[in-house]
Amino acid sequence: MRRTLFVALLLGLAGCGHSPPTRFYTVDPVPPGRSASGAFSGHVDVADVNLPAMLDRRAVVLRSGANQVEVSDQARWAAPLDGMVRRTMAEDLAERLGHEHVLMPGDPLPSGTVYTVVLTLAEFGASKDGSAVLSGDWAVRDNHQQVLLMRHVRLSQPVPANDIGAVASALSTMLGKVGDDVAAALSNRPGSRQRK
Q: How far is CA 82 from CA 50, 129, 136, 185, 191, in A?
A: 7, 25, 14, 23, 31
Measured between alpha carbons, how far is 167 from 180 in angstroms, rounded to an integer?
A: 20
Q: Considering the chain, what is the average pLDDT of its residues?
A: 87
Half-sphere exposure of 142 (CA within 13 A, CB side): 9
Q: Residue 40: which of 93, 116, 111 has the closest Cα?
A: 93
Q: What is the pLDDT of residues 1-46, one digit of tens each?
A: 555 554 454 455 555 556 779 999 999 999 998 765 567 888 999 9
pTM of the model as a whole: 0.85
Q: What is the pLDDT of residues 49-67, one digit of tens each?
A: 999 999 989 999 998 878 8
Domains of the chain: 24-187 (3.40.50.10610)
